[in-house]
Amino acid sequence: MLVIKNKKKFIRGITIIIVFMAIIITSFAFLISGIISLFKKEEVGTVQASETQKVENDVNTVYTQNNINNTANNTVQQENTEAIATINKEDINKWNLKLVNKDNSVDRNYVPELEEISDGVKFDKRAIKNLKNMINAMYNAGITKVWVQSAYRSYAKQEELFNNKVKYYKQKGKTQEEAQRLAQTIVQRPEMSEHNLALAADFNTVTNEFEDTKAFEWLKKNAQDYGFILRYPKDKQEITGITYESWHWRYVGQEHAKVIKEKNYCLEEYIEYLKGNQAV
């Protein structure tokens, strides 16, 4: 049996030991907490650094992609410019792109090599295969009520048609000058008609009733694939100087017809585009 001689000293000693142990435990707890906090800060710092690096990488990626896109756009623009320059030098005056209107005439002695489509209707031999293929494609699509009413016209024939139209307006009470001006919005003067080039095809009854046919709808969607364009569109009358003619389709070649279709140009606008005077 343990005998304590001095209880007060014993209790004081025990108290000191307990306080000392509490201090040690508290200090150890602070130490552990500090170590844990340090690790957390390092982890947060690592995450933040990783996120910062990710943001920097994303920014660099976007910057690099923008540079690539800009380079690609510049390359395309340069190629387009070069293509326009090439066409301007080599193609703009070729037979299939020749512009004929009141300001650009055809030599009255010009007669291209012709080939007959049917019943005495003739077309430029270099383009007639495209015209025949286009008509055959319409037939294959079930559109059989389509034919070429008029194509190549000689200077004499064009003069006859123009004079007849002038006579018509004079009978309506117009002066000679007024009659000629009105006639020219419908029938071009000799030397100013695309029919003198043998590159224009007038379909069916040569009236705007053609607009309501399946053939017209098909041509609007597919003619460019065969090198043809609607020469005198409804929304381009002020530019062409010719009233809307749904029946009149002109051969220019597939490459050019597709661009004209895509950009909604008439031929006058396309020629200016090739010269660099028309906005892209």
Looking at the structure, tell me whether residues 144 and 202 fall in a common domain: yes
Identify whether 233 is part of a domain. Answer: yes
Identify whether 186 is part of a domain. Answer: no
Looking at the structure, tell me whether residues 257 and 123 fall in a common domain: yes
78, with CB counted inside 10 A (0-12, 13-18, 19+), is exposed
Nearest to 197 by CA among 81, 100, 54: 100
Could you write out the DSSP letters of every residue in 16-65?
HHHHHHHHHHHHHHHHHHHHHHHHHHHHHHHHHHHHHHHHHHHHHHHHHH
Binning pLDDT at 50, 70 and 90, where does residue 183 land? confident
Exposure string over 35-44, b if 16+ CB within 10 A, otherwise e: eeeeeeeeee
Supply the range of the domain harboring residue 126: 97-153+193-275
β-strands 228-232, 245-251: how paired? antiparallel
Identify whether 269 is part of a domain. Answer: yes
Identify whether 147 is part of a domain. Answer: yes
Nearest to 116 by CA among 151, 146, 145: 151
Residue 24, both tokens: 């040690």
Task: Clarify whether 245 is annotated catalytic.
Answer: yes
Residue 32 pLDDT greater than 80, yes or no: no
Looking at the structure, tell me whether residues 84 and 213 fall in a common domain: no
Q: Which of the pair, 13 or 5, is modelled with greater confidence?
A: 13
Mean pLDDT of 217-233: 98
**Most confident of the ranges 44-48, 162-166, 249-253:** 249-253
Residue 164, both tokens: 């007849």
pLDDT given at position 10? 64
For residue range 120-142, what is the model confidence (pLDDT) as tens digits? Answer: 999 999 999 999 999 999 999 99
Could you write out the DSSP letters of every residue in 151-180?
----HHHHHHHHHHHHHHHHHTT--HHHHH
Mean pLDDT of 246-269: 97
Mean pLDDT of the chain: 81
pLDDT given at position 142? 98
Residue 222 pLDDT greater than 50, yes or no: yes
For the domain that residue 211 is a member of, what is the CATH number? Answer: 3.30.1380.10
Binning pLDDT at 50, 70 and 90, where does residue 88 land? low
Rounded Cα gap, residues 188 and 267, in angstroms: 16
Identify whether 172 is part of a domain. Answer: no
- Give the number of domains in the chain: 2
Identify whether 21 is part of a domain. Answer: yes
Looking at the structure, tell me whether residues 16 and 125 fall in a common domain: no
Looking at the structure, tell me whether residues 62 and 18 fall in a common domain: yes
Dihedral angle over CA of 130, 135, 141, 143, nearest 10: 160
Identify whether 280 is part of a domain. Answer: no
Q: Which of the pair, 88 or 8, is modelled with greater confidence?
A: 8
Mean pLDDT of 62-71: 46
Per the residue annotation, which of 43, 90, 191, 245 is the catalytic one? 245
The domain boundary residue, chosen from 70, 90, 110? 90
Q: Which 3 state secondary structure label does DSSP give 247? A: strand
Looking at the structure, tell me whether residues 5 and 120 fall in a common domain: no
pLDDT given at position 197? 94
Looking at the structure, tell me whether residues 85 and 223 fall in a common domain: no
Looking at the structure, tell me whether residues 143 and 114 fall in a common domain: yes
pTM value?
0.66
pLDDT given at position 81? 46
Residue 248 pLDDT greater than 80, yes or no: yes
The domain boundary residue, chosen from 39, 60, 90? 90
Q: Which 3 state secondary structure label does DSSP give 148? A: strand
Looking at the structure, tell me whether residues 8 and 47 fall in a common domain: yes
Question: Poorest-confidence range of 73-87, 185-199, 264-278?
Answer: 73-87
Kindly report the backbone phi and psi dihedral angles of residue 253, in degrees, each rounded to the nearest multiple of 5, phi listed first. Answer: 105, 150
Mean pLDDT of 231-255: 96
Looking at the structure, tell me whether residues 148 and 55 fall in a common domain: no
Residues 6+ apart with CB under 8 A from 215: 138, 143, 145, 146, 203, 204
Looking at the structure, tell me whether residues 65 and 5 fall in a common domain: yes
Nearest to 261 by CA among 231, 217, 216: 231
Identify whether 162 is part of a domain. Answer: no
Residue 114 pLDDT greater than 70, yes or no: yes
The CA-atom distances, in angstroms, between 151 and each of 106, 195, 229, 242 are 16, 6, 15, 18
Please list the residues that pair with 251 across neighbouring strands.
228
Looking at the structure, tell me whether residues 146 and 242 fall in a common domain: yes
Q: Which of the pair, 108 or 248, is modelled with greater confidence?
A: 248
Mean pLDDT of 79-102: 70
The domain boundary residue, chosen from 65, 90, 115? 90
pLDDT given at position 202? 97
The CA-atom distances, in angstroms, between 90 and each of 57, 200, 251 are 48, 23, 18
Rounded Cα gap, residues 83 and 36, in angstroms: 69
